[in-house]
Amino acid sequence: MKANHKPLVSIILPAFNEAGVIVKSLTTLTEYLNTLSDKFEWEILIVNDGSSDNTAELADNFAISNDNIRVIHHRVNRNLGGALRTGFRNAIGEYIVVLDIDLSYAPDHVEMMVDELIATEAEVVVASPYMKGGRTTSVPFLRLVLSKTVNKLMRLASGINIHTFTSMARAYKADFLKSLNLKSSTYSINPEIIQKATILRARIVEIPAHLDWSYQLTEGKTRTSSLRIYKGVLLGLMNSFIFRPYVFFMFVGITLLLISTYVIVWIFYHTYVVFPDIVVPSGLWNDRFTEAIASVFRDRPHAFFVGGFTLIVALQFIGIGFLSLQSKRYFDELFHLNSGLLRKSKES
């Protein structure tokens, strides 16, 4: 970066029925951003996502008195993914920052994330309240537990060493973000970005963050519903599977294989125990062994059923695991190739 170059930072704020918080949040955010004029140029993009209250009118009125603010309107609600993709397309900054319009992540996270993005030459910086040094305030207990559980599961399933996959508070290099060809129209867009950035071997950095719901609980009680929470949890579980589906199949398959192995070993052990006591007219070893197995079967028929059934199912799951691993590698390769072609087409 040139010595006197001040980068343009685009702050994207998705807004759906935010009339109760939008004016106060925009006032707080713009006042803060004005203090950074020596470091960054900035713009705010408000994406009004088909609000049914007067969010659109309040946003437009606020933007009239500030040339740094643009408002983009969706005629119908396109959900978070749709709102973010609209913001990403229309952002003109060198860096893009996404915040929740209720400022549950305080405005100073903007400077922290952009500074980290520049200092580490990362493509993505995630504000994480769940990593060491991060914290939360006034987040409802059930929501906090579910969120931490989902993010922990995503971390284990993906093998990616970050603690918060669902956080919307992030900073991106704009040219990299626009090359990802994002598809999700829901909250899944945040894990999708992490997944696709990882495929492209992008540098993803986390910084400790403070998630504070104090204002939301006092001023925006109608903004959160239990349905939205549980839908987010369900999407999180689905994304855990999408990261590395073969892990789930392999885990189930290997677990069942261990169970079937234990049962089969138990059958052969008891066959060995009863074998010396078996007497058959021919005296052939094969006949004695067959009769020993039959004796064990008469005493424990369920063991043969459990051992055989779990072995067959285990082999099926392991087979599906290998097929999903192959499909995942094909997807990664194709996505990597298509992203490269997309970048070249934009540069030409």
Average pLDDT along the chain: 85
Q: Are 125 and 116 in contact (CB under 8 A)?
A: yes
Measured distance CA(306)–CA(247) in Å, rounded: 24
Identify the segments of the chain with pLDDT beneath 70: 1-4, 216-242, 279-286, 328-348
- Predicted confidence at residue 340, as pLDDT, reads 64
- Predicted confidence at residue 237, as pLDDT, reads 64
Measured distance CA(233)–CA(216) in Å, rounded: 20
Measured distance CA(84)–CA(97) in Å, rounded: 11
- Predicted confidence at residue 201, as pLDDT, reads 87
CA 269 from chain center: how many Å?
A: 47
Q: Are 209 and 129 in contact (CB under 8 A)?
A: yes
- Predicted confidence at residue 222, as pLDDT, reads 47
- Predicted confidence at residue 141, as pLDDT, reads 87
- Predicted confidence at residue 227, as pLDDT, reads 44
- Predicted confidence at residue 140, as pLDDT, reads 86
- How many CB atoms lie under 10 A from the CB of residue 201? 8
**Pairing between β-strand 170-173 and β-strand 124-128 as defined by DSSP bridges:** antiparallel
- Predicted confidence at residue 329, as pLDDT, reads 67
Kindly compute the dihedral angle of the four CA atoms of residues 43, 49, 55, 60, in this order, to the nearest 10 degrees: 40
Q: Which residues, 6+ apart, have CB-to-CB distance to 243 below 8 Å? A: 154, 157, 158, 159, 160, 191, 195
- Predicted confidence at residue 226, as pLDDT, reads 44
Render pLDDT for 264-319 as a digit per residue (tens, 0 to 9): 999 988 888 887 777 666 555 567 788 888 888 888 889 899 989 999 999 999 88
What six digits make up the tokens of 75?
């005629």
